[in-house]
């Protein structure tokens, strides 16, 4: 049971009603011992009070969640945090090109004596009342998605061909994530969208970002941290205004850059590697460089950046 | 907002401004560039900060209110210093790097000063310069310049405090103009003559030769507004009031050029044909003048023309006197160089064929043997030789050469005379640009034995190297066949007061200077080489321009440290070039 997380959310100011709801849910639903290891123990907390509230409320009402937003907005972090908060084992499905119905639900296999059913992640999640994270669901093939329909809607069942139809455990929830850029549109088919409560993932707020970085790097210089944060939003704005493509910009890059500085790289090199060079257009790189140059000196080293 | 179409560097400047402003939905009234065409990051940030902390629209209105003032550029530059201080103080808390950026901008100012060509140096406003130097000295921890009491007060007044709001800033700007220029913004018609100085003794001639153009060499604040009379949406570097080229002015320019350089060697028709051929693309709007004559003060129509022509005549006398004074030295130099050059040139000498009864059968004559019984259908090498190689020496005669006119003419005389002694056809040309004319002065023609015309060399004006090189090539083309070599004396910093037309997709006229001018010159050299002419350069100039020499001439150049080495350098370069041609 993740009581740290509960405490964190209390401090964040999440309504008592919601947190009580979570406590009640936890008391009601036990976890099979075999899967206790699957309950995540996150080391990064998701920051964003409003998003937390909506997500908790939706899950308490028995909804499945679709987290939609630009890259590195903490979709996976939130999904994992939610599984931890609700104290459920977690199954992760990444929708790469080879994922088909059989992979999701299960396949036959020979166990040495006879042919048996070898359950897939969706089956396990559904039967054990876990949290299934359907990552990058918009990358899924339609055929793979079709099997999810009955799992996700009022029928709450999975039809395993050649076997029985099984019931989805009422504690189970599915949290899907999908990416869309500033210019991109959502391209998930309607049938599927209608089976989720959709949560638009915002870009992390300035205050939260400051806290996020300082939690990850407790010894970072406060003022310099503030400049990194401002840099992030300046680049974000540039991408939003379509002056640069959004490829270069994501929070992951910024956090990685800070990490590299801590490892000993200079600020200039670290930002180049983690942000600027992610764009292959030379002109765009210049624009990004100009923004960086107006915030962060090129030659700050570890001792300067991490001097609390 | 309709986003205008800007070229790369302008879009970059815009992005800097937008970024500092924190919004992307407006067209700023200013953009800042360095003379080399790159955006000035620091001042673009300031322009953006005007939007963030003050009010772009109000500030823009204020700048517009003295749009018609004669010294508008000067006011712009000074007031931006005022704004800079105010915005710096407002922003520094949120952007600690600003302190460093300000110091860097200051360093840049001092560095730019070192690389300015003489022409640019003389044309900057001393008033603005002193204020800028004061500001940037402070930012970089240098010793501030010594200022007079009025200038001191001015520097103080330009420290607009960060506590001012937009209305406070505007009234500070008004007060500033009223106090130091007796210029009342409210009374729009008021005009004030600010001090416009061109300093130094050498500047005397320059002042006469060059149009007075106030060109900012530090910050180049470009007004982007549509302004008065501009076509809609057009953005232009503004010309000074009263500098617009109209036909009246064109006539005056022409008579001026005639008076200072003599009449054209081409008639009007031919000249126009040449201009049509050469003055296009980057050189659109430029004129050409090929002359052999001497300055003609008598025909001068205006006082400046009379003075310039007289000054040029005087320089001729000085050149000649200098030569005479050193005649012994010059003579021995010529003997030495001609001996050196003779060896290499002799391998290019072609004996003229002589018709004979024996030798090589000449096919076009062979029929005569059968039909006419003429036995003289053979040729064999005769005694008369002709040199297959001709050399052109193109001398930079822009104002940068002001201090070494006598030496240059002597050196050019030495090399020309040496080549004449080796029977090498040599032409000596001087080039400079002024009032949109690129003037090619033929100091010595190919066929002339006498080289004393070279003493008509005098310096003054700008240098539009690209066009000058092309003009020189056309000159060679008309007069010589065979292998041609073009040697140029250059400082590798082309710049001219006549601008280049906008690049495609842009609305800005471009200055003929910096990277753009270097590129233009490099293109010209490439074109000339493609026509089969060998081009090589003797470089005498600042180390900062060394890179330009590489860009323009590739490996084919030699560098000299002082002008006394010119003749030897050309001789060495010729030897190298000829060796390569032979192999
Ligand atoms: N609101 C937030 N709270 C905590 N961390 C965040 C937040 N937003 C972004 N991050 C950080 O951004 C990084 C990426 O997070 P995560 O992988 O969850 O993003 P994502 O939205 O799933 O990205 P993608 O779309 O690329 O898969 C992590 O380091 C995470 O800590
Ligand atoms: Mg993800």
Determine the distance from the C-alpha atom of residue B409 to the mean position of all C-alpha atoms in its chain, rounded to a whole number: 21
User: Across residues B12-36, what is the average pLDDT?
Assistant: 87
Give the Å distance between the CA of A48 and the centre of ligand 2. 17
Among candidates A270, A276, A251, which has minimal Cα distance to A76?
A251
A194's CB contacts (< 8 A; 6+ apart) are: none
Among candidates A77, A83, A91, A96, which has minimal Cα distance to A137?
A96
pLDDT tens-digit readout, B428-460: 999 988 878 899 999 999 888 899 999 999 888
What pLDDT is recorded for position B303? Answer: 74
pLDDT tops 50 at residue B211: no
Verify whether ligand 1 is closer than 6 Å to residue A55 (CB atom): no
B12 contacts A287? CB cut-off 8 A: yes
Confidence of residue B511 (pLDDT cuts 50, 70, 90): confident
Separation CA A78–CA A83 (nearest Å)? 9
Q: Is residue B8 less than 8 Å (CB to CB) from chain A?
A: yes
| Nearest CA-CA distance, residue B53 and chain A, Å | 17
For the CA atoms of B142, B146, B152, B154, what is the dihedral angle to 10 degrees? -70
User: Across residues B88-112, what is the average pLDDT?
Assistant: 94
pLDDT tops 70 at residue B381: no
Q: Which ligand is nearest to the CA of A201?
A: 1
Residue nearest to atom 24 of ligand 1 (CA): A71
- Using a 10 angstrom Cβ sphere, with 0-12 exposed, 13-18 middle and 19 or more buried, the burial of residue A276 is buried
Strand residue runs (E) in B202-314: 220-223, 287-291
Lowest mean pLDDT of A187-191, B21-25, B77-81, B255-259, name the range: A187-191
Give the Å distance between the CA of A44 and the centre of ligand 2. 14
pLDDT tens-digit readout, A293-305: 999 999 999 999 9
What pLDDT is recorded for position B11? Answer: 85
Backbone angles phi, psi at A10, to 5 degrees: -60, -45
| Nearest CA-CA distance, residue B97 and chain A, Å | 6
User: Across residues A182-206, what is the average pLDDT?
Assistant: 77
A294 contacts B19? CB cut-off 8 A: yes
CB-proximal residues (5 Å) to ion ligand 2: A 75-76
- What is the value of ipTM here, to two decimals? 0.84
A293 contacts B19? CB cut-off 8 A: no
pLDDT tops 50 at residue B103: yes
B176's CB contacts (< 8 A; 6+ apart) are: B78, B79, B82, B154, B157, B158
User: Across residues B407-433, what is the average pLDDT?
Assistant: 91
The DSSP-derived string for B475-525 is HHHHH--SEEEEEEEE-S--BEEEEEPPPTT----EEE-HHHHHHHHHHHH
Can you list the pairs that B273-276 forms with residues at least 24 positions away whose Cβ atoms lie under 8 Å?
B274/B471, B274/B474
Alpha-helix runs per DSSP H in B98-125 = 98-115, 118-123
What pLDDT is recorded for position B428? Answer: 95
Sign of CA dihedral B183, B187, B188, B192: negative
pLDDT tops 70 at residue B120: no
Among candidates B288, B233, B279, which has minimal Cα distance to B440?
B288
Strand residue runs (E) in B337-479: 349-356, 360-361, 378-387, 389-396, 426-434, 437-444
A234 contacts B96? CB cut-off 8 A: no
B8 contacts A283? CB cut-off 8 A: yes
Half-sphere exposure of B51 (CA within 13 A, CB side): 22
Residues for chain B: how many in total? Answer: 583
Separation CA B487–CA A8 (nearest Å)? 79
Token look-up 């001639």 returns B205
B86's CB contacts (< 8 A; 6+ apart) are: B160, B161, B162, B164, B169
- CB distance B406 to B322 below 8 Å: yes
Residue nearest to atom 7 of ligand 1 (CA): A74
- CB distance B493 to B117 below 8 Å: yes
Among candidates A47, A50, A64, which has minimal Cα distance to A196?
A64
Residue nearest to atom 18 of ligand 1 (CA): A74
What pLDDT is recorded for position B244? Answer: 34
Separation CA B17–CA B24 (nearest Å)? 9
| Best residue among A79, A252, A256, A278 to mutate for probing ligand 1, ranked by most atoms within 8 Å of CB | A252
Of A238, A283, A296, the CB nearest to B97: A296
Beta bridge partners of residue A135, listed in sequence order: A94
| Best residue among A9, A69, A74, A213 to mutate for probing ligand 1, ranked by most atoms within 8 Å of CB | A74
Q: Is residue B1 less than 8 Å (CB to CB) from chain A?
A: no
User: Across residues B245-257, what is the average pLDDT?
Assistant: 65
Verify whether ligand 1 is closer than 6 Å to residue A267 (CB atom): no
| Position in ligand 1 atom list of the atom nearest CA A70 | 25
- CB distance B490 to B538 below 8 Å: yes
Separation CA B429–CA B457 (nearest Å)? 9
Sign of CA dihedral B107, B112, B115, B120: negative
Confidence of residue B205 (pLDDT cuts 50, 70, 90): very low
Which of B 65-104 lie inside 8 A of A, CB atoms? 94-97, 100-101
- The number of beta carbons lying within 10 Å of the beta carbon of residue A118 is 13
Backbone angles phi, psi at B416, to 5 degrees: -65, -45
pLDDT tops 70 at residue A171: yes
pLDDT tens-digit readout, B8-17: 777 898 899 9
- CB distance B399 to B209 below 8 Å: yes
Verify whether ligand 1 is closer than 6 Å to residue A76 (CB atom): yes
Q: Which comes out higher in pLDDT, residue A296 or B354?
A: A296
What pLDDT is recorded for position B223? Answer: 53
Q: Which ligand is nearest to the CA of A8?
A: 1
Q: Is residue A285 less than 8 Å (CB to CB) from chain B?
A: no
What pLDDT is recorded for position A61? Answer: 94
- Among the ranges A116-130, A288-302, B261-275, which has the highest mean pLDDT value? A288-302
Q: Report in angstroms the alpha-carbon separations of B523 from B95, B431, B436, B518, B552.
A: 43, 18, 20, 9, 8
- CB distance B362 to B424 below 8 Å: no
Q: Is residue B41 less than 8 Å (CB to CB) from chain A?
A: yes
- CB distance B46 to B84 below 8 Å: yes
Domain ranges of chain A: 3-200, 206-305
Q: Which comes out higher in pLDDT, residue A282 or A293?
A: A293
Q: Which one of B6, B12, B19, B37 would you mutate to disrupt binding with A, by most A Cβ within 10 Å of its Cβ?
A: B19
Verify whether ligand 1 is closer than 6 Å to residue A70 (CB atom): no
Confidence of residue A109 (pLDDT cuts 50, 70, 90): confident
Q: Is residue A291 less than 8 Å (CB to CB) from chain B?
A: yes
Alpha-helix runs per DSSP H in chain A = 3-12, 16-28, 49-60, 75-86, 101-105, 121-128, 142-152, 190-193, 206-216, 222-240, 251-263, 267-274, 282-293, 302-305
Buried-exposed string A153-188: b where 16+ CB fall within 10 A, e elsewhere: eeebebebeeeeebebeebbbbbbbbbbeeeeeeeb
Q: Report in angstroms the alpha-carbon separations of B530 from A169, B455, B473, B524.
A: 81, 33, 12, 10
Verify whether ligand 1 is closer than 6 Å to residue A44 (CB atom): yes
**What residues of chain A lie within 8 A of the CB of B12, using their CB?**
283, 286-287, 290
- CB distance A306 to A220 below 8 Å: yes
Report the residue of chain B nearest A242, measured CA to CA. Answer: B24
Q: How far does chain B reach from its first CA to its final CA, in angstroms?
A: 63
pLDDT tops 90 at residue B376: no
Separation CA B453–CA B181 (nearest Å)? 49
**What residues of chain B lie within 8 A of the CB of A295, using their CB?**
95, 97
Verify whether ligand 1 is closer than 6 Å to residue A48 (CB atom): yes
What pLDDT is recorded for position B233? Answer: 24
Q: Is residue B20 less than 8 Å (CB to CB) from chain A?
A: yes
Report residue B104 as tokens.
């860097």
For B208, the enclosing helix (H) or strand (E) is helix B203-209
pLDDT tens-digit readout, A132-165: 999 988 877 777 777 788 888 877 888 777 777 8
The CATH architecture of the domain made up of A3-200 is: 3-Layer(aba) Sandwich (3.40)
Overall pTM surpassing 0.80 (yes/no) = no
Residue nearest to atom 25 of ligand 1 (CA): A71
User: Across residues B136-145, what is the average pLDDT?
Assistant: 94
Which of B 319-358 lie inside 8 A of A, CB atoms? none
Separation CA A107–CA B424 (nearest Å)? 94
pLDDT tens-digit readout, B462-479: 889 999 999 999 888 877
Token look-up 């937003």 returns A69
A287 contacts B15? CB cut-off 8 A: yes
A243 contacts B18? CB cut-off 8 A: yes
- CB distance B516 to B552 below 8 Å: no
Confidence of residue B230 (pLDDT cuts 50, 70, 90): very low
Q: Which comes out higher in pLDDT, residue B374 or B487?
A: B487
Which of A 92-151 lie inside 8 A of B, CB atoms? none
Report the residue of chain B nearest A243, measured CA to CA. Answer: B15
DSSP-derived pairing of the beta strands A131-135 and B483-490: unpaired
Beta bridge partners of residue B559, listed in sequence order: B539
pLDDT tops 60 at residue B515: yes
Q: Report in angstroms the alpha-carbon separations of B51 from A233, A237, B56, B233.
A: 18, 16, 5, 21
Q: Which comes out higher in pLDDT, residue B368 or B428?
A: B428
What pLDDT is recorded for position B382? Answer: 61
Q: Report in angstroms the alpha-carbon separations of B386 from A15, B4, B342, B382.
A: 103, 61, 13, 11
Lowest mean pLDDT of A167-171, B94-98, B167-171, B325-329, name the range: B325-329
Q: Which comes out higher in pLDDT, residue A60 or B35?
A: A60
| Position in ligand 1 atom list of the atom nearest CA A71 | 25
What pLDDT is recorded for position A6? Answer: 93
Beta bridge partners of residue A157, listed in sequence order: A167
pLDDT tops 90 at residue A55: yes
Backbone angles phi, psi at B234, to 5 degrees: -85, 145
Buried-exposed string B224-260: b where 16+ CB fall within 10 A, e elsewhere: beeeeeeeeeebbeeeeeeeeeeeeeeebbbebbbbb
């Amino acid at each position: 049971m993740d009581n740290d997380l509960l405490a964190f959310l209390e401090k964040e100011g999440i309504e008592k009603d919601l947190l009580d709801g979570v406590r009640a849910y936890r008391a009601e639903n036990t976890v099979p011992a075999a899967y206790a290891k699957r309950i995540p123990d996150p080391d990064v907390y998701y920051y964003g009070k409003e998003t937390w509230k909506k997500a908790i409320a939706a899950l308490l009402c028995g909804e499945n969640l679709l987290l939609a937003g630009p890259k590195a907005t903490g979709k996976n972090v939130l999904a994992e945090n939610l599984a931890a908060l609700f104290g459920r084992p977690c199954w992760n499905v990444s929708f790469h090109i080879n994922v088909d119905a059989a992979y999701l639900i299960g396949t036959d296999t020979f166990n040495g004596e006879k042919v048996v059913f070898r359950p897939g992640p969706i089956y396990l999640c559904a039967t054990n009342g876990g949290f299934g994270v359907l990552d990058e669901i918009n990358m899924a093939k339609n055929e793979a998605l079709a099997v999810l329909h009955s799992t996700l809607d009022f029928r709450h069942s999975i039809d395993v061909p050649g076997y029985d139809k099984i019931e989805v455990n009422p504690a189970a929830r599915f949290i899907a994530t999908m990416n869309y850029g500033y210019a991109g549109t959502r391209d998930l088919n309607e049938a599927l969208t209608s089976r989720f409560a959709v949560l638009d993932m915002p870009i992390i707020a300035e205050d939260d970002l400051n806290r996020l970085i300082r939690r990850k790097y407790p010894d970072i210089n406060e003022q310099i941290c503030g400049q990194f944060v401002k840099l992030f939003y300046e680049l974000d704005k540039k991408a939003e205004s379509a002056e640069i493509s959004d490829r270069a910009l994501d929070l992951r890059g910024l956090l990685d850059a800070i990490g590299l500085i801590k490892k000993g790289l200079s600020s200039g090199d670290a930002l180049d590697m983690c942000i600027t060079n992610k764009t292959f257009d030379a002109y765009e790189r210049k624009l990004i460089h100009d923004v960086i140059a107006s915030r962060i000196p090129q030659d700050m080293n570890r001792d300067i950046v991490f001097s609390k | 907002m309709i986003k205008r179409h800007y070229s790369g560097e302008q879009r970059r400047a815009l992005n800097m401004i937008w970024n500092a402003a924190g919004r992307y939905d407006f067209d700023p009234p200013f953009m800042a560039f360095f003379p080399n065409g790159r955006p000035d990051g620091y001042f673009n940030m300031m322009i953006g900060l005007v939007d963030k902390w003050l009010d772009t629209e109000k500030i823009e209105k204020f700048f517009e209110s003295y749009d018609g003032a004669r010294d508008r550029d000067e006011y712009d530059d000074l007031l931006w210093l005022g704004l800079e201080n105010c915005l710096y103080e407002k922003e520094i808390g949120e952007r600690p790097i600003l302190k460093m950026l300000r110091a860097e901008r200051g360093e840049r100012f001092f560095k730019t000063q070192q690389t300015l060509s003489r022409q640019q140096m003389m044309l900057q406003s001393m008033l603005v310069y002193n204020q800028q130097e004061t500001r940037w000295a402070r930012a970089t921890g240098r010793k501030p310049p010594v200022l007079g009491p009025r200038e001191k007060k001015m520097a103080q007044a330009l420290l607009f405090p960060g506590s001012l709001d937009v209305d406070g800033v505007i009234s500070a700007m008004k007060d500033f103009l009223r106090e130091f220029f007796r210029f009342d913004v409210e009374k729009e018609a008021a005009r004030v003559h600010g001090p416009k100085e061109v300093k130094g003794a050498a500047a005397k001639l320059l002042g006469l030769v060059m149009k007075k153009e106030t060109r900012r060499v530090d910050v180049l604040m470009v007004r982007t507004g549509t302004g008065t009379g501009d076509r809609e949406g057009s953005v232009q570097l503004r010309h000074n009031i009263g500098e617009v080229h109209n036909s009246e002015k064109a006539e005056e320019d022409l008579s001026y050029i005639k008076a200072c350089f003599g009449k054209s060697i081409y008639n009007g028709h031919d000249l126009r044909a040449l201009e049509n051929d050469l003055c296009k693309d980057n050189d659109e709007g430029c004129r050409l003048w090929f002359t052999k004559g001497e300055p003609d003060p008598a025909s001068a129509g205006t006082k400046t023309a009379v003075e310039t022509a007289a000054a040029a005549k005087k320089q001729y006398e000085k050149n000649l006197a200098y030569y005479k004074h050193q005649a012994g030295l010059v003579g021995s130099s010529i003997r030495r160089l001609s001996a050196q050059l003779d060896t290499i040139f002799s391998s290019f000498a072609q004996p003229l064929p002589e018709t004979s009864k024996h030798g090589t059968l000449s096919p076009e004559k062979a029929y005569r043997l059968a039909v006419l019984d003429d036995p003289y259908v053979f040729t064999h090498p005769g005694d008369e030789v002709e040199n297959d190689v001709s050399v052109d020496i193109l001398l930079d005669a822009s104002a940068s050469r002001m201090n070494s006119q006598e030496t240059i003419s002597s050196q050019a005389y030495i090399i020309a005379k040496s080549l004449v002694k080796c029977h090498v056809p040599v032409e000596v040309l001087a080039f400079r640009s002024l009032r949109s004319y690129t003037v090619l002065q033929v100091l010595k023609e190919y066929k002339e034995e006498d080289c004393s015309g070279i003493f008509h060399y005098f310096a003054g004006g700008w240098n539009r190297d690209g066009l000058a090189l092309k003009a020189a090539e056309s000159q060679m083309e008309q007069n010589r066949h065979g292998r041609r070599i073009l040697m140029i004396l250059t400082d590798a910093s082309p710049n001219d007061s006549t601008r280049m037309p906008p690049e495609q997709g842009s609305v800005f006229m471009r200055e003929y200077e910096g990277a753009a001018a270097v590129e233009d010159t490099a293109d010209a050299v490439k074109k000339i080489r493609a026509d089969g002419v060998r081009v090589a350069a003797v470089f005498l100039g600042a180390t900062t321009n060394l890179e330009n020499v590489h860009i323009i001439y590739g490996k084919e150049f030699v560098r000299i440290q002082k002008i006394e080495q010119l003749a030897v350098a050309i001789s060495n370069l010729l030897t190298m070039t000829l060796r390569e041609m032979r192999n």
